[in-house]
Structure 1
Amino acid sequence: MREDPAASGLSDEVRLRLYDQALPAARIGAWECELATERLNWTPGVYAIFGYPPGNPLRRAAIVDLYVDESRRNMELARAEVIRSGRPVTLDTEIRTWRGETRWMRLSIHAQRDGVGPLRIFGAKQDITADRQAIHSLRRQAETDPLTGLANRAIFQARYLEVVNDSLHHGDASALVLIDLDGFKVLNDTLGHLAGDACLCEVAQRLRRAFRGAGLVGRLGGDEFAIILQAPSTPARIADVLRHTTAMLGRPLFWNGHRIAISASIGAALIGRPHRRRIVELFAEADAALYQAKAAGRNCVHVIGDEAESRAA
């Protein structure tokens, strides 16, 4: 239902002024494109969203180039669908502003038609960057361990299901690795939980650097970490990499004037096709391998899976 200007007591001039003030404040703007000429018309809010100088000519080709590749394709498909069907479409798009900033924008597209076909398309553009950032922040909080920033147990298990599922489509994953710090309780009892937290954060950083691009690293809780190892793929190389991992983790940490000795026991279960086991079985095997590594003493590795067992150290 359209508002009656007379009933509101506002003149058209006042109403337009209020709209011109309110829409940019809400980071919303209106736009239209005349299809015959591809001439664009924008309200100030759209100029603000794109960071585009109002004095610059509006050329559609130049504006389309400001959309990120995937968003550009989606926008062009949506535009063509509106022109074809006349049905309105709303979609979220990512853009690079005229100054190079990344923003997210909610775009609505409508068509005005005559008896023959569409004359113009028009709609609104709203800056939703803050909303997207808030959602990303909430998702990150839900998916990461608050102390170390690694994947938490829930997201680790979800990603594990993506990589190694019960139908045994293994992808590139080669091993499930469990890591447990040696003597961590003693550290907490002697130097306190702040020292323990510093140790956990340092171990997380070392694992993140060591396995960047080679696997998913998570903290399952306490002093237990886990890795979905993607490379290498042979048992001998996996055992070798994990032995190097114990050496890397074994470097001391210097904290508040204390030299803190770190060591870790590592157990791994091979995921490769010759070792067809379900998810729960793999976790059980990795846990059993970890138990054997800890039973053998500090700073040990044990890998379960055919000939890999003979290569444990």
Structure 2
Amino acid sequence: MEARIDEQQAVIARLEAELAHSRKVFDRASEAAQIGVWECELADSSLRWTDVVYDIFELPRGSALDRGRTLECYPQATREALERIRSKAIEDRSGFCLDAEIVTMRGNRRWIRITASVECVDGEPVRIFGMKQDITAEKTAALRLRTMAEFDSLTGLANRSRFQAVIGGVAAEGVEAEGVAASAVGAVMLIDLDRFKDVNDDLGHIVGDDCLKEVGRRLALLRSRSDCVARIGGDEFAVVFGPQTAHAAALRLGAAVVRLMERPILVAGRRIHIGASVGIAFSQDGRGDALYGHADTALYAAKAAGRGTVRVFDGKVGDAVSPSGKGESRG
């Protein structure tokens, strides 16, 4: 009998050692992957976290947890979305997955991926549990890739791809552009720098790049008044206005751009004078897919009129008018 008891105790000890080793491996893997496990009792909202979740929220490991305090780490919109899908999952006895931004207890911003499943007893939900993973690096990399894909590295403005997505409402991959509707365009303004080629030819491309950076800073002032400000070519820029922008307001902004570009640019102790011509096309039906060509017609007329001017497409291919109504033929 004693031998059998000793044998059973040896088996139990071996199993306990294996379990402890498994937990140690799991903890190390979870920490390496920045994945922690959490549970919430639905009866009293009490929480249980593994160490990695404490680390993600920058709370001391093992400290007392309060769900209400934890929810304060989420921005209001995210908190409302989390509560909504959590309630739905509990109602449906299912689960959910959500990427959410948090502000840790130390004030640092992080992105986490929450996965959850609802556990039921006799058909009634009793607890919700799952994993939380720190995906800040993943989100940062995705944002960097999006920035590279949609923004001009020299000026910081949107690039041609983003501009085309905005005026067409469809990205190059054929999916709807984020936050963009095909009927959301009121006007397109094209801006072409005058005498910029002379700067590159006479002073070099480094000075030319510095000039473009300053142009980008000046045009960035239009961001609050428009849907998109982009560099779409070497010295060509574009501004997209929503349908709420009045024609008169767009014309005033076009004239303001001309005046803004008349100011000298200081580069390496030099005062460089360039200038800009502006062409504007207004949408008749709220769609922007044809406006680029119309605005280009108006821009051509502005340059033909002596540069440093604003011209508006009048609705007929090949013609544009000045804001005062004087016609300009593309010739």
Shorter-chain TM range is: 0.7 to 0.9
- SS of the counterpart of 1:53? coil
Post-superposition shift, 1:278? 5.9
Q: Deviations over 1:245-291 (max 9, x none)?
A: 111111111212322112111111123xxx45864542222111111
Please say if residues 183 and 287 of structure 2, whose CA atoms lie closer than 8 Å, have aligned partners that are also in contact: no
Question: What is the distance in 1 between the residues matched to 2:115 and 2:182?
Answer: 40
Post-superposition shift, 1:232? 8.2
The reply on whether 1:246 has 2:278 as its aligned counterpart is: no
Partner residue in 2 for 1:285: 294
After superposition, the Cα gap between the structure-2 partners of 1:14 and 1:237, relative to the gap in structure 1 and judged at 3 Å, is closer
Identity score, percent: 41
Partner residue in 2 for 1:212: 223
Equivalent residue letter for 2:71:
V
Post-superposition shift, 1:55? 5.5
Q: Deviations over 1:62-100 (max 9, x none)?
A: 112222223222322332233233323222122121122
Please say if residues 174 and 230 of structure 1, whose CA atoms lie closer than 8 Å, have aligned partners that are also in contact: yes
Question: What is the distance in 2 between the residues matched to 1:107 and 1:170?
Answer: 35
User: Is the radius of gyration larger for structure 1 or structure 2?
Assistant: 2
Question: What is the distance in 1 between the residues matched to 2:246 and 2:94?
Answer: 55
Question: What is the distance in 2 between the residues matched to 1:199 and 1:85?
Answer: 59
Equivalent residue letter for 2:225:
A
Q: Deviations over 1:7-37 (max 9, x none)?
A: 9996222222232333223211111112222
Structure 1 stretch displaced more, 73-82 or 31-40: 73-82
The reply on whether 1:113 has 2:120 as its aligned counterpart is: yes
Of 20, 25, 28, the residue aligned with 1:13 is 20
The reply on whether 1:226 has 2:238 as its aligned counterpart is: yes
Equivalent residue letter for 1:266:
V
Of 34, 41, 48, the residue aligned with 1:34 is 41
Equivalent residue letter for 1:259:
R
Q: Which segments of 5 or more consecutive residues in structure 1 lack a partner in the other structure?
A: none
After superposition, the Cα gap between the structure-2 partners of 1:114 and 1:233, relative to the gap in structure 1 and judged at 3 Å, is closer
After superposition, the Cα gap between the structure-2 partners of 1:240 and 1:93, relative to the gap in structure 1 and judged at 3 Å, is closer
Partner residue in 1 for 2:99: 92
Partner residue in 1 for 2:85: 78
After superposition, the Cα gap between the structure-2 partners of 1:131 and 1:277, relative to the gap in structure 1 and judged at 3 Å, is closer
Please say if residues 196 and 235 of structure 2, whose CA atoms lie closer than 8 Å, have aligned partners that are also in contact: yes
Task: Using structure 1 for the length normalisation, give the TM-score.
Answer: 0.86
Structure 2 matches for 1:104-253, cutoff 5 A?
A: 104-162=111-169, 171=184, 173-209=185-221, 211-215=222-226, 216-230=228-242, 233-253=245-265
Question: What is the distance in 2 between the residues matched to 1:154 and 1:8?
Answer: 60
Q: Deviations over 1:155-189 (max 9, x none)?
A: 101112249x9xx9754x54211111112222111
Question: What is the distance in 2 between the residues matched to 1:276 and 1:78?
Answer: 38
Question: What is the distance in 2 between the residues matched to 1:278 and 1:39?
Answer: 53
After superposition, the Cα gap between the structure-2 partners of 1:6 and 1:90, relative to the gap in structure 1 and judged at 3 Å, is farther
- SS of the counterpart of 1:142? helix
Please say if residues 232 and 238 of structure 1, whose CA atoms lie closer than 8 Å, have aligned partners that are also in contact: no
After superposition, the Cα gap between the structure-2 partners of 1:6 and 1:267, relative to the gap in structure 1 and judged at 3 Å, is farther
After superposition, the Cα gap between the structure-2 partners of 1:58 and 1:256, relative to the gap in structure 1 and judged at 3 Å, is same
Post-superposition shift, 1:234? 4.1
Structure 1 stretch displaced more, 219-228 or 115-124: 115-124
After superposition, the Cα gap between the structure-2 partners of 1:32 and 1:130, relative to the gap in structure 1 and judged at 3 Å, is same
After superposition, the Cα gap between the structure-2 partners of 1:147 and 1:310, relative to the gap in structure 1 and judged at 3 Å, is closer
- SS of the counterpart of 1:311? coil
Partner residue in 1 for 2:313: 304
Structure 1 stretch displaced more, 24-33 or 64-73: 64-73
Question: What is the distance in 2 between the residues matched to 1:250 and 1:20?
Answer: 64
After superposition, the Cα gap between the structure-2 partners of 1:238 and 1:40, relative to the gap in structure 1 and judged at 3 Å, is closer
- SS of the counterpart of 2:224? coil
Question: What is the distance in 2 between the residues matched to 1:8 and 1:311?
Answer: 90
Question: What is the distance in 2 between the residues matched to 1:312 and 1:243?
Answer: 15
Question: What is the distance in 1 between the residues matched to 2:141 and 2:15?
Answer: 37
Equivalent residue letter for 1:256:
A
Equivalent residue letter for 2:160:
R
- SS of the counterpart of 2:94? coil
Question: What is the distance in 1 between the residues matched to 2:135 and 2:309?
Answer: 51
Instruction: Count residues with an aligned counterpart.
Output: 301
- SS of the counterpart of 2:322? helix
Please say if residues 168 and 289 of structure 2, whose CA atoms lie closer than 8 Å, have aligned partners that are also in contact: no
- SS of the counterpart of 1:31? strand
Q: Which segments of 5 or more consecutive residues in structure 2 lack a partner in the other structure?
A: 1-11, 171-175, 327-331
